[in-house]
Structure 1
Amino acid sequence: MGKHAKPSGKSAHRAPGSVVRARPLPVRSAVRLRRPVDIWHKPALSAVAALAIPDLTLWALGRLDLILYTSAGAMCALYAHGLPYAARARTLPWVVLGMVASLGIALTAASLITSTALLVGCASLVAAVHKVVCDATRIGPPGNIILTFVTTSAFFVPQHPGQVPPHMALALGAGALAWLVCMAPALIRPQGPERIVVARALEAAAGLLRTDAGTDEERVGVPHARHATAAAVNAAWHTLFLVPVRTPAKAAARAGLERLLVRAESALGGTGRGSEASAEDGSRDARFAGAEADRLGGWARELRSGRPLPEVALSAAQAEELAGIAAEDPGPRRPAPGQPRGVRAVLARLAPGSPLLPIGARVAAGCVLAGWASMAVGVGHPYWAVVTAASIYQANTTLSWQRALQRTLGNLLGLLLYTALLPLMHLGPLAMIALALACQLGAEAGITRNYWLGSVCVTPMALLLTEFGSRVPATTLIADRWIDTVVGAAVGLVCCVLVTNRRAADRIEVALGRVAAAEAVAFRLLSAGPASGADDARDIGWARDPLAGCLVELREAVEVAAGEWWQRALPQERIAHAEQRGHRALAGLVRRLSAPTLAA
C-alpha cells in the first residue's frame, strides 16, 4: 500500500538483515511550502497573550532582565491545543511543571558550575531527556524544542543559588497564566477541539470517496487516502473519548459527534469499483460516492463554523454499538482493554529496546559535541549550537537532514530580518516587546507551512530575548548565531549518521505481529455472520478499533524506518500483504456495522 510498499525485487526474498541499503537525502521537498495547519492561530494567539501580560508588567516595573524566566512559563501556552478542554486542563500543568523543573535544574547548575564545557554536557543530557520524554508522551507540537530552547539558555545565565527559587516562582506564575489563557476559549466554544478533529475525519473521508470514485489515474492515490482517513478517524476517536460526559447535555453533544465520526468511518468500508463492474454500475457508484463526499464535506464545514450538529442517520448495528458504549461506560474505547494507558503506556515506550533510546543517544552526543565545537571556534554563545543540534533530530535520518537544511536556511534569513529590524529596536523597550510578540506570531504562522519559514521569525525573537538580559553588539550576536547554527547543524548531522537507529526496522516486526493478531480477531468475527445485537456490534467495534490503530502504527513504523539512510532492506512484500489484508478486514468490519445505512 502506498509508495513504500512496492516490492523490492530480489532483495525482498533475502533474509532480513542480509541486505543494507543507503537512502538518498532529499533537498527540494525539504524547502517546499505546505498548506498551513487549520488551527495555527490558536497556539499563536495564546502564546502572544501569555507573553504580553508578563512582558508589559516587567516593563512597568523596570525589570525586563527577568523576561527569560516569565517567558519560560508563558511559552507553555503553545502546547495541548489539539486536546479537548478537560484533557488540556490536566495536561498543561504537567508541561508547566516539566518546564519549571528543567529551568530549576539549569539555574542551579549555572549557579554552581563554572566550567562552560561541563555546562554544555549538562544541557545536552537535559535536551536528550526532553526529546525522549516528549516523544514517549506524544505531547504533540511544538514537542521538545521549546523546553530545550529555554532550558539550554538558562544553563548559561549568571546566577546565584539564592536567586533560583524566585526565578522559578516567576516561571511558575507565568505558567499558571498560560494555563488560564489556553483554557479561556472554553467559555466561548467548549466543544471546539473535538469539533475540529471530527471535521478533519469527515474531510479525510470525503477525500477518500472522491479519490476512489475518480479516474484510474486518480485512484492510484486510494491507498494513501485510505491510510489518511484511517489515521484521522483513529485520532478523532482518541480525542472524543477524552471528553467527560458528566451531564446529560455533554453526553448528548458527544453522542452527536460520535454519530458523525461513525459516518466518516463508513467511508473505509467502500468496496471500490472492481474491474468486472459495468460502466453503468461504475457511474452509479461514482455518483453515490460524490454525493456522500459532498455531504461529509458540508458537515465538516458546519462543525468548523460552530453551527448546531446535523442529524445523521446510522445503521441499526452502528446505533446499537454507540448505545451499548453509552450505557456501559463513557470511557475510551481506545486502546482496547488490557493495553496500557497513561503513565504505564509512557513507561512502556521507554522500556529497554525502545526505538526512542537511539534517538536520545543521538541528541545527547550531537548536542555535547556541537557545544564543544562551538567553544573551540571561540563562539560566546555555545548554547545556540546545542539548541540547533537538538532541534534537528527527528524520527529518522532523512527527516533530520531536512530539518538541518531548513534550520540553516531559516536562521540565515532570520539574521537578515534581525538586521533589518535593528533601527526599530533602538526605539526603546516597548518597541522590542512589540517586535518579539510579532515574531512569535509570525513564527507560528510560518512554521506549519515549513520549518524554515517559521525559523525566519524565531531567530530574531531569540536574539531579542538575549538583548533584554544584557546588551551585546549586534555584529557579535549575528556572527555567533550564524556560526553556532552551522556548527550545530553539521555536528548534529554527523552524529545522526554515525548513531544509526537499527531498532526502527525492529519496530516494523513488532507492528506486523500486532496487525496479524488484530486481523485474526477481525476475520474470526467476519466469518461468524452479521451482527445480531448490541453485544455483537460492540464486539465488532472492539475488533475494529485495535485493527485501525495497528494499521496506523505499522504505516508510521514503515515511514520512520524507510527514512534511515543505512540499514537492512525492509520486508516490503510482507508489509504490503499485511496492509492489504488489514484494510480488507477493516473494511469488512466497517461494512458489517454500517450496512444498511439509512439515507441522511
Structure 2
Amino acid sequence: MSSATPTPGTPPVRRLSLAGVLRLRRPSEIWFKPALSSVAAVAPPNLLLLAFGRLDLAMYTMAGALCALYAHNRPYAARARTLAWVVLGMLGGVAVALVTASLTRNAVVLVTVGALLAAVQKTLCDATRVGPPGNVVLTFISSATLFVPQTLDRIPGHLALAAAAGVWAWLVCMAPALIRPHGPERRATAQALNAAAAYAATRGTGDGHASARAAGYAAVQAAWQTLLSLPATGTRATTRHALERLVVRAEVALAAPADTDPERLRGWALALRGGGRIPRTGGTPEDREELLGVDAELAARPAPLRQRLGPLAPIAVRTALGCALAGYASLALGIGRPYWALVTAAALYQANLTLTWSRAVQRVVGNLAGVLLFAAIAPLAHLGQALLVLCCLALNFGAEALITRNYWLGSVCVTPMALLVTEFAGYQAPGDLMTERAVDTLVGALVGFLAAVAVTNRRAGNRVEHAVAAADRAREGAARLLAEQAPAPGALEAARRNLAAALTDLRATADGAAGEWWGRALPQERVVLAEQSGHRTLAEVVRRRAARPDLDTGTRTEDVRP
C-alpha cells in the first residue's frame, strides 16, 4: 500500500537539474554479452576487407554487424524474430540512404531525408519496444551513408555486404542458445525475484519502499513479457511454466511484503543463475489456477501497431524537427559532416523533456571526452590499417562494456571509434576531425534540445487520465471477483496480473508526464489514490489465496536444465 500523501496538481513549468546526471550505476549483469557479440560480429568482416585491401567498404559491413547490439535480454525464439526485423530495418534505412545519395548531392536534401529517417526509426523502435540501443545505431548508419558519394549501379553490392554482415550478426547473437537455451528467461525471473525481495525487505513501509515497489513491479512486468514470448507448448513450455510460478511468488511478495521472507526469494534467484534445476514452489491445484490466469493473458491480443504509434507523435515531430535543424545549422557553419549533428540530436530524445535534458548533458560530456581520447590514440591507429581496425574493435568493446554504467561513459569510447571509422577510406587530419566532431556535438545538442522545448507533449496529461481510468477498471474487476464465493478457474489470477500491469503502466505514465517541460497540471491526487486502492486490492487477493487450504508453500526443484 502506498504511503504517499495526495498532493495538488503539478505546476506547468518544471525545473531541469544536473543532479545525478553523470552518476555511475552498477554495470548490467550481462554487460559482457553485447560487448563480446559486437566484437565477434564486427571483427571477421573488417579483417576480411583488410586482407582484400577494401577497408573502404567497411561502412556497409559494419551496418549489418552492429545489429548484434540488439535483443540480448530476449529469449532466443523472440531474439531471432527481433534481430531479423532489426536487420531488415537497417537494410531499409541503408537502401533509402543509398538511393538518395545516388540521386542528389544537395546537402539540404540529404539532411532532410536523414531527419525523416531518424523520426521513422525513433517512432518504430519505441512503438515496438525493441530495446537498447534503440534508434541511435540505425540513425547513425543511415545518416552516415547519405553523405558518401554513391552511384545506382553500386547499390546492390553495398546492400549485399550489409545483408551478409547482418546474417553473421544474427548467427553470433543466436549462438549462445546452443550452450544455455533458457538463459534469458531464467535471468529475467531472477531479476524479478531480487527486485521483489528488495521491496519485501522494507516491509512495505521502510526507507525507499516506494521506489523499491515501483522497481519491483517493473521487473515483474518485464519478466512476464519475457515469459509470455515463449512457446506455450512443447519442450520449452515446461521451463516456462516452472519460471511462471516463481514470478507469481514475486508478485505475491510485492502485494504482501510484510508476510514475505526476502531471503527465500533471493535464494530462488540465486538458484536460477547457474545451470541447475529450477526451484519449484508447489505442484498443487493453486499452481494450475495460476497458469490458467497466464493462459487468459496470452489469449488477449496486443494493441495494434497503429494504436501504439499515436502517443509517440510528439516525439516523432521532435526528432524530425530537431535533427533537421541541427543538420541545417551544421551546414550553415560549414561543417563537412552534418550527419554528426543530426545523429547527436536524434540520440537526445527520450520519453520526456527531463530525460532528454539528462541525455543531452551526457552526450556532450561523453563526446567531448571522447574527442580527447581520440587525440591520444590517433597516433597509434595511424601506424597501419591493421592497428586502425584493432583500435576500433577495442573501442567497440569498451563502448558496450561501459555504457550500462552511464551513457556518457560509453560515449567516451563511441566517439573515437566513429572518428577512426571515417579513416577506413583514407587518412583524415586529426585536428579537423576533432574540431568538427566537437562543434557538431554542441550544435546537435543545443538545437536538438531547443526543438524538444518547442514541441511540447500536450497529450501527456490525457494519457495519465487514461492510465488512471484503466487502473480503476482493473481494480474494480478484481474486486468483483473477490466478492464471488468461487470465481472461475484462473479468473482471479488473470485479474490480479491485469491490475499489477495497470498499476505499473500508471506509474510509468505518470513519471513520464511529470518530466515534461510545460503542460497542464497533472491529476496527482487521483494517481496516488488509484495506486493506494489498487495495492490494497492486490493485497486482498494475496490474502484470499493464502487462506486456501490447498496452498502448498514448500519448495521443490523442477527437473529442467537451462
What TM-score results when the alignment is normalised by the length of structure 1?
A: 0.89
**Of 215, 222, 244, the match for 2:231:** 244
CA offset digits 1:285-316 (Å, max 9, x no partner) = 6xxx4xx2112112211211222212323664
1:347 aligns with 2:306: yes
How far does residue 321 in structure 1 lie from its aligned partner after superposition? 2.9
Range with greater deviation from structure 2 (408-417 or 438-447): 438-447
**Of 408, 418, 438, the match for 2:374:** 418
**Structure 1 residues 333 and 320 mapped into 2: Cα distance closer, same or farther (>3 Å)?**
closer
**Of 236, 240, 265, the match for 1:254:** 240
> Between the two proteins, what is the percent identity of the paired residues?
52
How far does residue 599 in structure 1 lie from its aligned partner after superposition? 3.3
Q: Which residue of 1 aligns with 2:435?
A: 479
**Of 358, 361, 368, the match for 2:317:** 361
Query: How many Å separate the matches in 1 of 2:376 and 2:107?
Result: 32
> What RMSD over aligned residues (CA atoms) do the two structures have, in Å?
1.9
1:542 aligns with 2:494: yes
Query: How many Å separate the matches in 2 of 1:24 and 1:187?
Result: 50
How far does residue 500 in structure 1 lie from its aligned partner after superposition? 0.6
**Of 492, 515, 524, the match for 1:572:** 524
Contact in 1 for aligned 2:2/2:535 (Cα 8 Å): no
CA offset digits 1:543-597 (Å, max 9, x no partner) = 1122111111111111111101211111111000001111122222234335544
CA offset digits 1:14-64 (Å, max 9, x no partner) = xxxxx8521111102111111111112111111110001101111111110
Alignment of 1:260-275 (within 5 A): 260-270=246-256, 272=258
Contact in 2 for aligned 1:195/1:257 (Cα 8 Å): yes
Q: Which residue of 2 aligns with 1:396?
A: 352
Contact in 2 for aligned 1:333/1:545 (Cα 8 Å): no
Describe the SS at the equivalent of 1:448: coil
Q: Which residue of 2 aligns with 1:103?
A: 94
1:465 aligns with 2:421: yes
Q: Which residue of 2 aligns with 1:118?
A: 109
CA offset digits 1:441-460 (Å, max 9, x no partner) = 11111111111001000001
Q: Which residue of 1 aligns with 2:214?
A: 227
Query: How many Å separate the matches in 1 of 2:168 and 2:130?
Result: 20
How far does residue 437 in structure 1 lie from its aligned partner after superposition? 1.0
1:71 aligns with 2:35: no
Query: How many Å separate the matches in 1 of 2:30 and 2:363?
Result: 23
Q: Which residue of 2 aligns with 1:24?
A: 15
Describe the SS at the equivalent of 1:468: coil
CA offset digits 1:340-388 (Å, max 9, x no partner) = 35xx2x22111xxx22101110111111111111111111110000000
**Structure 1 residues 301 and 140 mapped into 2: Cα distance closer, same or farther (>3 Å)?**
same
Range with greater deviation from structure 2 (137-146 or 543-552): 543-552
**Structure 1 residues 387 and 262 mapped into 2: Cα distance closer, same or farther (>3 Å)?**
same
Query: How many Å separate the matches in 1 of 2:364 and 2:419?
Result: 16
Q: When the two structures are aligned, how many residues end up with a matched partner?
A: 552
Q: Which residue of 2 aligns with 1:88?
A: 79
Alignment of 1:192-341 (within 5 A): 192-212=183-203, 219-247=206-234, 249-270=235-256, 272=258, 289=260, 292-313=261-282, 316-322=285-291, 324=292, 333-334=296-297, 337=300, 339-341=301-303
**Structure 1 residues 58 and 590 mapped into 2: Cα distance closer, same or farther (>3 Å)?**
farther
Contact in 2 for aligned 1:313/1:598 (Cα 8 Å): yes
Contact in 2 for aligned 1:439/1:458 (Cα 8 Å): yes
Contact in 2 for aligned 1:515/1:550 (Cα 8 Å): yes
Contact in 2 for aligned 1:46/1:182 (Cα 8 Å): yes
**Structure 1 residues 332 and 320 mapped into 2: Cα distance closer, same or farther (>3 Å)?**
closer
Query: How many Å separate the matches in 1 of 2:238 and 2:221?
Result: 21
Query: How many Å separate the matches in 2 of 1:397 and 1:107?
Result: 33
1:161 aligns with 2:152: yes
Amino acid aligned to 1:348: Q
How far does residue 512 in structure 1 lie from its aligned partner after superposition? 1.0
Query: How many Å separate the matches in 1 of 2:198 and 2:41?
Result: 37
CA offset digits 1:408-433 (Å, max 9, x no partner) = 00001000100000121022111111
Range with greater deviation from structure 2 (547-556 or 220-229): 220-229
Amino acid aligned to 1:243: L
CA offset digits 1:92-128 (Å, max 9, x no partner) = 1111000001000001111111210110011000000
What TM-score results when the alignment is normalised by the length of structure 2?
A: 0.94
Q: Which residue of 2 aligns with 1:282?
A: none
Query: How many Å separate the matches in 2 of 1:461 and 1:439?
Result: 6
Alignment of 1:148-187 (within 5 A): 148-187=139-178
Contact in 1 for aligned 2:39/2:397 (Cα 8 Å): yes
How far does residue 212 in structure 1 lie from its aligned partner after superposition? 1.1
Query: How many Å separate the matches in 2 of 1:7 and 1:299?
Result: 37
How far does residue 269 in structure 1 lie from its aligned partner after superposition? 2.9
**Structure 1 residues 456 and 334 mapped into 2: Cα distance closer, same or farther (>3 Å)?**
farther
Amino acid aligned to 1:509: E
1:38 aligns with 2:32: no
Q: Which residue of 2 aligns with 1:434?
A: 390
